[in-house]
Each structure stands twice: as structure tokens, then as C-alpha cells.
Amino acid sequence: MTKSELIERIATMCSISKTRAELVVNEVFDAMTQSLAEGDHIEIRGFGSFTVREYKPYTGVNPRTHRPVDVGAKKLPFFKVGKELRESVNARAGTPLPSDSDD
């Protein structure tokens, strides 16, 4: 599912226009982005939580040239799947994954 498919499904499911649905979906992800950018964490019960992890600067190696590269300090978002979703996703382990049609 892509964001535009999500928007279409919201429009149908909630009987609103696609334009309004797009605004809603963007607002949801903008709110989450802003929250993480402010260093806050997000907790959506049943779905999962997002936290920001801080990484110290380090010297890495360019795998192609084997030359050292300095990687500066950075922050990365980290998603931890919630118990409910983890269990419902895992319930289908062992069955084939659907082929990706949206790639």
C-alpha cells in the first residue's frame, strides 16, 4: 500500500473527498514527523512506538575504496512494533508473502 492508496481507502471508508482524506493523512504524518524532530517519542497503542536514537560521530570505512570516512553525530528514528501488531503479523509466518505489485 502506498500513501495515495491509503488516502483513497480513507476517503471510501470514511465517506469524505479524496482531497480532504489527503489533508488528513498528511496531517497525521506531519504531526509525527514534527514530534520526532522535537525529540519527543510517539506511542500508538496496538501499532507501535517511535523513538529518536542519537548516534555519536565515528570513523567508518568506505567499502569500495577502503578509505576511512568521518561520519558525524546523527539522530535516527527507530520504530518498535507494538505487541498486538507484532502478534497479528507473526500469526501468518510460514505462509507466502504477497508479491509486491507496487514496486
CA dihedral 83, 87, 88, 89 (to 10 degrees): 100
Q: Using DSSP, state whether 75 is helix, strand or coil.
A: strand
SS (H, E, C) 10-53: HHHHHCCCHHHHHHHHHHHHHHHHHHHHCCCCEEECCCEEEEEE
Residues 44-103 that bind another protein (CB under 8 A): 44-48, 50, 52, 74-79, 81, 85-86, 88-95, 97-98, 100, 102
Alpha-carbon distance of 51 to 60, in angstroms, equals 24
Of 18, 19, 37, 60, the residue at the interface with another protein (CB under 8 A) is: 37
Q: Which is nearer to another protein, 44 or 61 (CB)?
A: 44
Q: Which is nearer to another protein, 67 or 97 (CB)?
A: 97
Binding residues vs another protein (CB under 8 A): 1-3, 6, 9-10, 13-14, 16, 20, 23-25, 27-29, 31-37, 40-48, 50, 52, 74-79, 81, 85-86, 88-95, 97-98, 100, 102
